[in-house]
Amino acid sequence: MLVLDRDNEKILDANPAAAAFYGYSIEQMSGMDLGQIQIISAEDLLLETARANKEGRSYLVLPHRMANDQIAPG
């Protein structure tokens, strides 16, 4: 799980499982820009956010870039 600051798209915190998944330490992830791991366009992010809201979800399912530059499917 990642804790995000929606105002500036910064990662505030990550749990150990998220850090291990992405291949970073928790310290490295804290303060990263979401754009460093997010690979979808701003338009697609808005569409996915709208879809999540419509479905009553409080989470998004998105592909992300790992520390080793591989893409993890969402």
pLDDT of residue 67: 96
What is the C-alpha to C-alpha distance for residues 53 and 37, in angstroms, rounded to an integer?
A: 22
pLDDT of residue 41: 87
Q: Torsion-angle region of residue 37: left (phi > 0), alpha (psi -120 to 50) or beta?
A: alpha
pLDDT of residue 32: 95
pLDDT of residue 53: 94
CATH number at residue 65: 3.30.450.20
Q: How many domains does the chain have?
A: 1
The segments of the chain whose pLDDT lies below 70 read: none
